[in-house]
Amino acid sequence: MDLFKKTAFELHNLLKEKSVSAEEICKSVFSKINEVEDKVKSYVTLTEDLALKKAKEVDEKIKNDEEISPLSGIPIAIKDNMCTKGILTTCSSKILSNYIPIYSSTVVERLFEQDVVMVGKTNMDEFAMGSSTENSSFGPTRNPVDLGRVPGGSSGGSAAAVAADEAIIALGSDTGGSIRQPAALCGVVGMKPTYGLVSRYGLVAFASSLDQIGPITKDVTDCAILLNHIVGYDSKDSTSIKTEAPDYTKALVNNVKGLRIGVPKELMAEGIQPEVKSAVENALKVLSEAGACVEETTLPHSDYALSAYYIIAPAEASSNLARFDGVRYGYRTKESDDIIEMYKKTRSEGFGKEVKRRIMLGTYALSAGYYEAYYGQAQKIRTLIIDDFNKAFEKFDVLIFPTSPTVAFKIGERVSDPLQMYLSDVCTIPVNLAGLPGISIPCGKADNLPIGLQIIGKSLNEETILKVAYTFEQNFSLKA
Active site residues: 79, 154, 178
> Whole-angstrom Cα distance, residue 75 to residue 92?
21
Whether the Cβ atoms of residue 279 and residue 415 lie closer than 8 Å to each other = no
Torsion over CA: 385, 390, 396, 398 (sign): positive
* C-alpha to C-alpha distance for 134 and 102, rounded to whole angstroms: 29
CA–CA dist 256, 293 (Å, integer): 9
Biggest CA–CA distance in the chain, Å, is 71
Structural contact between residues 148 and 132, judged by C-beta atoms closer than 8 angstroms: no
Q: What is the 3-state secondary structure (H, E, C) of the chain?
A: CCHHHCCHHHHHHHHHCCCCCHHHHHHHHHHHHHHHHHHHCCEEEECHHHHHHHHHHHHHHHHCCCCCCCCCCCEEEEECCECECCECCCCCCHHHCCCCCCCCCHHHHHHHHCCCEEEEEECCCHHHCCCCCCCCCCCCCCECCECCECCCCCCHHHHHHHHCCCCCEEEEEECCCCCHHHHHHHCCEEEECCCCCECCCCECCCCCCCCEEEEEECCHHHHHHHHHCCECCCCCCCCCCCCCCCCHHHHCCCCCCCCEEEEEHHHHCCCCCHHHHHHHHHHHHHHHHCCCEEEEECCCCHHHHHHHHHHHHHHHHHHHHHHCCCCCCCCCCCCCCCHHHHHHHHHHHHCCHHHHHHHHHHHHHHCCCCCHHHHHHHHHHHHHHHHHHHHHCCCCCEEEEECCCCCCCECCCCCCCHHHHHHHHCCCHHHHHHCCCEEEEEEEEECCEEEEEEEEECCCCHHHHHHHHHHHHHHHHHHC
Which of 217, 260, 241, 203 has its CA nearest to residue 89? 203
Specify which residues 262 forms β-bridges with: 295, 399
From the list 139, 170, 138, 137, the residue with the least C-alpha distance to 155 is 170
At position 349, the amino acid (one-letter code) is E
